[in-house]
Amino acid sequence: MIAVLVITGVLSSVTLLGHGLMLGAVIRSRFVKLNANVFLINIAIADCLIALCTFVFLLLPITTDSSPLCIISAMVLLVLSGVSGISVLFLAIERYLRVCRRKWYRQVRKKVLILAVLIGIWVHSGVWAAQGVTGWTELHYAERTGLCLINPRVSISYDVTITFVFVILPAIVLMFCYTSIIVAADRSRRTMEKCESPRMKRFCSPAKMTYHKERWLKSTLVAAILLFVTCYGCVGGILLASYFIEPPYILQPLSVCLILTTSAGNAIIYSAMNHNVRRCYSRVFATLRKATVREEHQNDATGGILCEKNSKSSKSPTISQDKFSMEPVDIPSTSYTRSELPNCVAIH
């Protein structure tokens, strides 16, 4: 239980940090269009909620299957996991249409249609999560993980259906879409090689340059496929195998860690895939670096000294031969050194 809590905390921190930066880049930057990254935002919101809710539910005192807290926590995690997985599917379809089917993309890129798809993703995941209450399957408290999850030994039909809908079908579509984009990138690279000759340069359109500039395209697409297929595939395999045999002790905690690993991996991969988001990251870091350098230069220029406002003239008592004379005498601010300043404080 302690190991699950520690791993959950680490993965949740990575998820919140990565998706938090990505949400900030998408919302605040003028380079990243909000309507073109709605599925990316949906993934970020769902993954952040998965990270938060999983860590919070592990700390709650849930001990029985029939408690309302157990049912609510299980349904929340099921809905968020479904939204994250289906959003990855639609993000792949959107990227495929944008790169390989531009005419189709212009026809389907409508705010009403995108909003309907987003609502449909949440409703679709909610309907499948509600089957634990309607009777098709059951929700139970898993002592090995400290969370309420699906009971895989109740309905094999539900296990097979949910594995096909949320694992197999998205994996097939994901591989098809991203493989097509990789093939298009290779075709564009060969075209750009031909365009290097002076004779063919005038026949090359600027639109073909976009694929050639994306240096991280292939690696991020392959990483996205491997992450989804590995993590969700293992979770689906564990779910189906648990109906027939009693799973080992480590499999249930492993399934929870795989879901959290998917959320953390999405924060890294899909941030690296979008070059506009990477540009926003570099600008944020450059701004912070410039602010630090500017502050250091200001400290060097002032000698690391912060004086009081009345530093133009300072009052100091004079000493005569017989006694102290407490009559103040003006001392110009330019006539003393750093060690002789009584009203200044060094900055450390």
Contacts for 194 with CB less than 8 Å, ≥ 6 apart: 200, 204
Query: For residue 305, what are the β-bridge partners?
Result: 346
Model pTM? 0.74
Reading the block at residue 222, the tokens are: 């392959």
Rounded Cα distance, 314 and 329, in Å: 8
Q: What is the C-alpha to C-alpha distance for residues 128 and 120, in angstroms, rounded to an integer? A: 12
Predicted local distance difference test score (pLDDT) of residue 273 = 64
DSSP string, 289-314: HHHHHHHHHHHHHTTTEEE-TT-SEE
- Return the bridge partners of 328, or none: 317
Spatial contact of 89 and 50, defined as CB atoms under 8 Å apart:
no
Q: For residues 125 and 233, what is the distance between their CA atoms, to the nearest angstrom?
A: 18
The token duo for 194 is 């031909």
- For residue 30, the model assigns a pLDDT of 56
Which pLDDT value is given to residue 345?
38
Nearest residue to 7 via CA among 250, 234, 248: 250
Q: What structural domains and CATH numbers belong to the chain?
A: 2-290 (1.20.1070.10), 306-346 (no CATH)
Q: How much is the pLDDT for 287?
A: 64
Q: Angle formed by the axes of helices 2-28 and 251-273, to 10°?
A: 20
Helices in the chain by DSSP H: which ranges?
2-28, 38-59, 68-100, 102-108, 111-129, 131-134, 156-163, 169-195, 209-213, 217-244, 251-273, 275-301
Pairing of strands 139-142, 147-150: antiparallel
pLDDT score at 309: 42
User: CA-CA distance, 60 to 238, in Å (whole number)?
Assistant: 25
Report the pLDDT value the prediction gives residue 301, as an integer from 0 to 100. Answer: 52
The span from the CA of 153 to the CA of 143, in Å, is 16
What is the residue-wise DSSP string for 197-256? Answer: STTTGGG--GGGHHHHH-TTHHHHHHHHHHHHHHHHHHHHHHHHHHHHSPPPTTHHHHHH
From first to last of its 348 residues, what are the pLDDT tens digits of the chain? 677 778 888 888 888 888 887 777 777 665 556 566 788 889 999 999 999 998 888 887 766 666 788 888 889 999 999 999 999 999 999 989 988 888 888 888 888 888 999 999 999 999 999 998 888 888 888 877 888 888 888 899 999 999 999 999 999 999 999 999 888 888 877 776 666 566 555 555 544 444 445 566 788 888 899 999 999 999 999 889 888 888 787 888 888 889 889 998 888 888 766 666 666 666 656 666 666 666 666 655 554 444 344 444 444 444 444 443 444 444 444 444 444 444 433 333
CA distances to 96, 176, 188, 255 from 99, rounded to whole Å, are 5, 13, 11, 34
Q: If you search the block for the tokens 């070059």, which residue do you land on?
A: 275
